[in-house]
Chains A and B, each alone.
Chain A
């Protein structure tokens, strides 16, 4: 996939680029509105990551410009402007998703994967990963043809993990995904451990608990066991 990252903060630009290249995407960068306009005019991108607060203007004004010529391009806004009005305005103008800083890379990754799959117009989306079949539109996951009997939170955990497959996902990012940012650290981790314990038991019943590995105190990884 080909990405354009429009972000004026050089460190963040570099880190998002690094992460996308690791996921085997092609990445181009723009630091200003003008630079972005020029690139969008000349090239076709699968997905654009857009920061709203740019030195030469409000990135919101770029959205219609991008969507006019490239309606198929996925567009994710990443912004510190956390006002509800901007979010609604951005989505109204055709952005596919909106992420507020400070965000987790895993969250960005999950959103990108969801947007890309949505753009590919997959109806009755089935995502296959090793022995797992994710029937996304039906909110159902099966292994070896048998449906897993999951609670809502357990389902959410697995979806988040598969959208971040083969990456270390921090427990903070998982907790924030599940409960938003109102939850205090110590609580959300207690709940998270409880959910993962139950989830592991259910996965063990169909011999796939080895997909989910714990990475010391930091987080988890969902990958096909070697």
Chain B
């Protein structure tokens, strides 16, 4: 189509130039009208061309956004032999940007995988060596104190490692074993398994359940998502605190009493972001939550008011 437009434009330009020269020769009004008609046709052709350009731009814009959400959608653009130079140029641009994003993404994934894989054995070695020392009958109290520090920090390394592996795996696993996951059931199961987690601070759980809520997603990730959300609500709670779980047709809301927080809510989902007074926590829980949501067609929002914190997970539309 576009090559035809090109020919048409060319014909129009030539005839327009011809007409103009005829008008200047004969000074005829009929010819002037004819020239005007030609001129309007010429504008119409230009408008058609720009519209097709915008259409191509829109198509590729949509593709880029899709790419940013899910790198696996990347495919080299296929062009018909009739494609206009403009379409070709946009497609080339998309190809350059898209393949670069894809490569960077894969390199990052590979790096995380390698790094965490290579860390696993050294961490095991340190843990095993500390365990061997611990069995010695001749240790002083101060030795135990030092060993406890090593253990605590090795454990932290190990958990950071596990969380990073999980973060990188979410991207590769989210579209496998996708099922209709019953959210109510997962919440119920969590509190059944973690009853004792509520006891030390005597936290009370309240339910406001209108209906059954289902998320269409990978089952393991769903469980990790719910576990992280509810653990978060327990961890940042206070003595005699309250957790309110609200389930509506499209959203799961988890509200918990806690401390006042002056941290910028938008940084909350970033990796290693944490409230300063909880230095033992890794600050990876909510970034895991966010990543799972991103890849599972869900959205997650955070609000807080008067030391009551709320996380809302919704099905994303479209």
**A interface residue numbers (CB < 8 A to B):** 9, 11-12, 15-16, 18-19, 22, 80, 82, 100-106, 153, 167-168, 170, 172, 181-187, 190-191, 194-195, 215-219
Contact = CB atoms under 8 A, between A and B. Distances in A.
Nearest to A100: B120
Contacts of B123: 101-102
Contacts of B117: 80
Contacts of A185: 152, 155-156, 159, 280-281
A189 B100 CA distance: 45
Of B123, B151, B165, most A-chain CB atoms within 10 Å: B151
B128 A105 contact: yes
B121 A101 contact: yes
B128 A19 contact: yes
13 contacts: A19-B128, A22-B135, A100-B120, A101-B124, A104-B127, A181-B159, A182-B228, A184-B231, A184-B281, A184-B285, A187-B231, A216-B144, A217-B148
Given A18-B132, A170-B134, 11 more contacts: A11-B129, A19-B132, A22-B132, A80-B120, A102-B120, A102-B161, A153-B196, A184-B159, A186-B280, A187-B234, A195-B196
A181 B120 CA distance: 14
Interface string B117-140: 100110111011111101100000
Interface in B92-138: 117, 120-121, 123-125, 127-132, 134-135
A80 B119 CA distance: 9
Given A168-B134, A191-B200, A216-B141, A102 B165 contact: no
Nearest to A101: B120
Interface of B: 117, 120-121, 123-125, 127-132, 134-135, 141, 144-145, 147-148, 151-152, 155-156, 158-159, 161-162, 165, 196-197, 199-200, 224, 227-228, 231, 234-235, 278, 280-282, 285
Contacts of B235: 184, 186-187
Contacts of B141: 216
Contacts, number: 109
Contacts of B228: 182
A177 to B, nearest CB: 13
Given A184-B231, A187-B234, A195-B196, A218 B125 contact: no
Contacts of B285: 184
B188 to A, nearest CB: 17
Nearest to B197: A191
A15 B234 contact: no
A185 B157 CA distance: 12
Contacts of A15: 125, 128-129, 132
A195 B132 CA distance: 26
A18 B129 CA distance: 10
Nearest to B196: A191
- Determine which residue in B121, B152, B165 has the highest number of CB atoms from chain A within 10 A of its CB, and name it: B121
B147 A218 contact: yes
Contact of A82 (B155, B158, B165, B227): B165
A181, A182, A215: most-surrounded residue (chain B CB, <10 A): A182
B125 to A, nearest CB: 5
Given A11-B125, A16-B128, A218-B134, A194 B281 contact: no
B124 A186 contact: no
User: Which 5 pairs across A and B sit closest by C-beta, in order of nearness?
Assistant: A102-B123, A216-B144, A80-B120, A15-B128, A101-B120
B281 A172 contact: no
Contacts of A167: 135
Contacts of A170: 130-131, 134, 151
Given A11-B125, A184-B281, A190 B131 contact: no
Contacts of A18: 132
B227 A182 contact: yes
B144 A218 contact: yes
A9 B124 CA distance: 11
A185 B155 CA distance: 8
Given A172-B155, A187-B235, A217 B145 contact: yes
A104 B234 CA distance: 27
Given A18-B132, A105-B131, A187-B235, A218 B151 contact: yes
Nearest to A16: B128
B231 A168 contact: no
Contact of A184 (B124, B147, B280): B280
B191 to A, nearest CB: 14
B155 to A, nearest CB: 5
A104 B281 CA distance: 21
Contact of B121 (A9, A184, A217): A9
Nearest to A12: B125
A184 B288 CA distance: 14
A122 to B, nearest CB: 27
Given A217-B144, A218-B134, A102 B124 contact: yes
A162 B145 CA distance: 25
